[in-house]
């Protein structure tokens, strides 16, 4: 990471990476960023593909708190309760499929695919 | 699914008994709205026909009255919430408790069906306990998902569980067996409310010792019936719990979570969802999702309320009265 200028890192980190962009090897090792928003008790996008090393940030836009909890044993990530407007970030290093849900409203589910 | 939602009457008028008798004979409950302090009466069911206690003058009625009792349910006080449509749920909880205090009929106790707090914060629990305690009644709590956000709910259980109780419990009052269940812990991804095997095993053992003629009142936060699973308004393993109760002749199931009055009857089991004291939520499927319904300030209190449940020995059905904070 230290090979890259902080300017370049900051610029790339603010980009929203879509599935197709995440597959681009040019972004694969620079810690790209992606976002999931929570609106009306739904994760959007519910399915998200990112490159290994990506930081995914969830933002709660509801008037009710939510959590982001990895649905696996052992659990690799679990957010504190996110009140309205709060965010939670997780860095995904290892490729794989990560299912998650809201532990308050478990019908809310989503998946992060790390390539 | 609007047929599952049965709003309380908008009117504050108390129908005369003549009007209610024909209506009540066909219905299993009296679901009406009244001013507690003003009227000083509680509806009771006698022979399936709702009537009021002040009108029952016979010796038999007096004998029944001596053993009858009522209790109150409050729910979803969400202390700590501070957004449209309610910037101060502590004040509306206080109004609800004041209504209970002003009632001429002293309830035997109170149940709170969860979401006492909004974010499980100690200060929220303290404020709620102080206001609820001002009713001067014994209170039986069950947690909502908002009460167990921290430390697997231990901060809730340390504060609100009675010393002898585990995370679920039962007690008896006046010949009725009450069961408080927790269905907001260990919920599974993609699922709904969850009781779990340990609680179901306890429930089975608890019920084994009861005769089928014992009236049961079961209360939990999330509905124990499939009210609207698309919004998470149901409990994954509730069917297992309900199957243990099928041999009982009178089962009343009370819940919160959905912030509105809804009811359903399945065989001998009657289900009732209660209003919140903090904010309303939309009727099932009528909005993009559940969550606080933004309503004008002058209508908020018509969508918040408390519930009284009245038991008369010998009557299979308990009388449910939902009362709005204002009409």
- How long is chain B? 327
CA distance A101 to chain B (A): 5
A contact set with B (CB within 8 A): 39-42, 62-65, 67, 69, 71, 81, 83-84, 99-101, 103-109
Q: Is B90 helix (H, G, I), strand (E, B) or coil?
A: helix
> Do the chains contact at A107 and B190, CB–CB below 8 Å?
yes
Contact yes or no for B42/B57 (Cβ under 8 A): no
**Model pLDDT, residue B120:** 97
Instruction: Give CA–CA dist A23/B160, Å, rounded.
Output: 51
In whole angstroms, what is the distance from residue A97 CA to residue A49 CA? Answer: 9
The reported pLDDT for the residue numbered B62 is: 55
Of A64, A101, A104, the CB nearest to B190: A101
For every residue of B161-211, DSSP letters joined together read: S-TT--SSEEEEETTEEEEE---BSSPPTT--BB--HHHHHHHHHHHHTS-
Whats the size of chain A, residue-wise?
Answer: 115
**Above 70 in pLDDT, residue A21?**
no
- CA–CA dist A97, B263 (Å, integer): 41
Contacts of B291 in chain A (CB under 8 A): 40-41, 62-64
B232 to A41: CB separation less than 8 angstroms, yes or no = yes
Distance between CA B114 and CA B136 in Å, rounded?
19
Q: How far apart are CA B276 and CA B281, in angstroms?
A: 9
Looking at residue B105, its pLDDT comes to 85
Interchain contact, B289 vs A109, CB within 8 Å = no
Query: Average pLDDT for residues A37-56, to the nearest whole number?
Result: 97
Our CA angle for A50, A56, A57, nearest 5°, is: 150
Q: Which residues contact B101 (CB under 8 A, 6 or more apart)?
A: B134, B135, B136
**C-alpha distance from A75 to closest chain B C-alpha (Å):** 12
Residue B3 is predicted with a pLDDT of 42
| Residue B237 distance to chain A (closest CA, Å) | 14
Alpha helices in B172-324 (DSSP H): 197-208, 238-243, 297-300
B303 vs B306: CA distance, rounded Å: 10
For residue A19, the surrounding DSSP H or E stretch is helix A19-22
Strand partners, A100: A70, A110
In the β-sheet with B69-74, what is the strand arrangement from edge to edge? B139-141, B110-112, B69-74, B305-311, B319-324
Nearest CA in chain B to A107: B190
Beta pairing partners, B72: B110, B308
pLDDT in tens, chain B (327 residues): 444 444 443 333 333 333 333 333 333 333 333 333 322 334 333 333 333 444 344 555 555 566 799 999 999 999 999 999 999 999 999 999 999 999 888 999 999 999 999 999 999 999 999 999 999 999 999 999 999 999 999 999 999 998 887 899 999 999 999 999 999 999 999 999 999 999 999 999 999 999 999 999 999 999 999 999 999 999 999 999 999 999 999 999 999 999 999 999 999 999 999 999 999 999 999 999 999 999 999 999 999 999 999 999 988 899 999 999 998
User: Which tokens is B270 given?
Assistant: 């009657």
Min distance A16 CA to chain B CA atoms (Å): 25
Please give the Cα distance from B35 to B327 (Å, whole number).
9
Among chain B residues, the shortest Cα distance to A81 is held by: B149
Q: Which of A100, A105, A112 to mutate to test the interface with B (most CBs of B within 10 A)?
A: A105
| Domain B7-324: homologous superfamily in CATH | Metallo-dependent phosphatases (3.60.21.10)
């Amino acid at each position: 990471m230290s090979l890259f200028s902080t300017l370049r890192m900051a610029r790339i980190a603010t980009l929203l990476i879509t599935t197709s962009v995440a597959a681009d090897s040019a972004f694969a090792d620079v810690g790209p960023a992606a976002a999931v928003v929570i609106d009306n008790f739904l994760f959007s996008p519910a399915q998200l593909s990112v490159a290994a090393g990506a930081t995914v940030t969830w933002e709660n836009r509801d008037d009710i708190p939510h959590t982001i909890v990895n649905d696996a044993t052992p659990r690799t990530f679990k957010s504190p309760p996110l009140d309205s407007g709060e965010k939670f970030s997780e860095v995904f290093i290892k490729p794989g499929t990560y299912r998650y849900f809201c532990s308050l409203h478990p019908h809310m589910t989503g998946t992060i695919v790390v390539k | 699914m609007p047929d599952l939602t049965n709003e309380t009457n908008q009117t504050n008028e108390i129908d005369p008994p003549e009007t209610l008798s024909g209506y009540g004979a066909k219905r299993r409950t009296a679901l009406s709205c009244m001013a507690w302090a003003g009227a000083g009466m509680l509806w009771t069911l006698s022979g399936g026909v709702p009537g009021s206690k002040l009108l029952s003058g016979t010796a038999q009625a007096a004998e029944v009255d001596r053993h009858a009792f009522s209790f109150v349910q409050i729910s979803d006080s969400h202390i700590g919430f501070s957004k449209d449509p309610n910037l101060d749920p502590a004040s509306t909880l206080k109004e609800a408790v004041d209504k209970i205090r002003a009632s001429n009929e002293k309830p035997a106790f109170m149940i709170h069906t969860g979401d006492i707090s909004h974010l499980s914060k100690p200060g929220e629990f303290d404020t709620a306990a102080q206001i609820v305690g001002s009713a001067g009644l014994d209170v039986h709590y069950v947690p909502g998902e908002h009460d167990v956000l921290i430390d697997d709910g231990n901060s809730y259980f340390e504060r609100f569980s009675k010393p002898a109780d585990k995370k679920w419990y039962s007690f008896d009052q006046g010949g009725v067996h009450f069961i408080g269940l927790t269905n907001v812990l260990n919920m599974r991804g993609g699922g709904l409310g969850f009781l779990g095997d340990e609680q179901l095993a306890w429930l089975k053992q608890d019920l084994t010792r009861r005769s089928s003629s014992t009236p049961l009142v079961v209360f939990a936060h999330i509905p124990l019936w499939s009210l609207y699973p698309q919004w998470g308004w149901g409990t994954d393993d509730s069917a297992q719990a309900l199957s243990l109760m099928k041999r009982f002749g009178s089962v009343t199931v009370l819940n919160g979570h959905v912030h509105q009055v809804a009811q359903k009857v399945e065989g001998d089991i009657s289900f009732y969802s209660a209003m919140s004291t903090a904010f309303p939520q939309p009727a099932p499927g009528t909005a993009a999702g559940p969550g606080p319904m933004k309503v004008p300030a002058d209508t908020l209190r018509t969508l918040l309320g408390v519930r009284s449940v009245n038991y008369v020995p010998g009557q299979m059905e308990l009388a449910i009265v939902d009362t709005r904070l204002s009409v």
